[in-house]
Amino acid sequence: MKLFKNLLNISAVFILSLGLSTSILAQVGVGVAPIEEAELMLDGSKEMLLEKWQYWEGPRFSAQAPIKWMEVKDPVDGGKAISSNDPAAAGGKYGAADIVTKKEYRDFRAHVEFLVNNEGGNSGVYLQNRYEIQILDGDYGLHGMAAVINEHLPKEEAYNGVGKWNAYDIVFKAARFENGKLTEKARVTIYFNGKKIHEDVSIQQVWGGPNSGIDGGNDGGKGITDRPGGLKLQAEGHDVFYRNVWIKPLNLDGKSTDF
């Protein structure tokens, strides 16, 4: 009888632990609904795209409003998605037709779902319209899939592959300044399809020059300024689809990005 009770207690602990881990895991990965106080920024519809996003009018901007990113049929479940294949960006002209949220942010938690529809598909998610988290099918280098571009390789390969939905879950902490002087670099933690691939890593600069985003033309991308920026999605003339993008502003003063 005593053995039976002990087994029950062990089972209860196991079930409780499983429930806890399931709850934690439910906060990341494909299909996760917006968490409390987060705002849904893109549900896959053209209506929400035009309501909450705008073109980023950087030096290479050559598109014409309204946004030409098209609403397409989700190839997986038949719902709605938005394609990054803007005609103005044909040939890989990043910065020609990138889109950015109308709202700007400092610290935040973000969720972005994307599907690469063809081999070699290329796009990117820019934090604060500065720091790129790469989307590039077929490449896992420093300029490849899930890299904090040119700085940090993902800890493991978690990409679901062409024709399948993927999810970045991100906590980002903006650079800190005192009296106008940079005192702390930006930092980020990222889960890719539920797996932690970057843990509270620092980001040194903006890469890609002035066509890449805010501060890209300042001191070779090292001249980070103290201003907020939106979440940006990159157009490079490829069929990379987006849906279920949401953001929650945070205050990470004195805190890590790890979660």
Q: What is the mean pLDDT of each run of 10 residues along the chain (259 residues)?
A: 39 34 64 96 98 98 97 97 98 97 98 98 98 97 97 97 98 97 98 98 98 98 98 98 98 97
> Residues 192, 154: contact at Cβ < 8 Å?
yes
Q: Which strand (E) or helix (H) includes residue 53?
A: strand 53-55
Beta carbons within 8 Å of 216's beta carbon, 6+ residues apart: 58, 130, 206, 207, 208, 209, 210
Which pair of structure tokens corresponds to residue 161? 């592959």
- Round to whole Å and give the CA distance between 118 and 103: 31
Q: Which strand (E) or helix (H) includes residue 22?
A: helix 2-25
Which pair of structure tokens corresponds to residue 243? 């849906």
Exposed/middle/buried for residue 254 (C-beta within 10 Å: 0-12, 13-18, 19+) = exposed
User: Looking at residue 18, what is its pLDDT?
Assistant: 35
- Round to whole Å and give the CA distance between 187 and 200: 6
> Residues 15, 8: contact at Cβ < 8 Å?
no
Q: For residue 207, which phi and psi values (nearest 5 degrees)?
A: -110, 150
59: number of Cβ within 10 Å: 12
* pTM summary value: 0.90
Place of tokens 């066509």: 211
User: Looking at residue 177, what is its pLDDT?
Assistant: 98
User: Looking at residue 4, what is its pLDDT?
Assistant: 35
Amino acid at 22: T
User: Looking at residue 26, what is its pLDDT?
Assistant: 55
Cross-sheet strand order for the sheet of 131-136: 53-55, 99-101, 232-233, 122-127, 131-136
- Long-range contacts (CB closer than 8 Å, 24 or more residues apart) made by 254-257: 255/173, 256/173, 256/187, 256/189, 256/200, 257/171, 257/172, 257/173, 257/187, 257/188, 257/189, 257/200
Facing residues of 167 across strands?
113
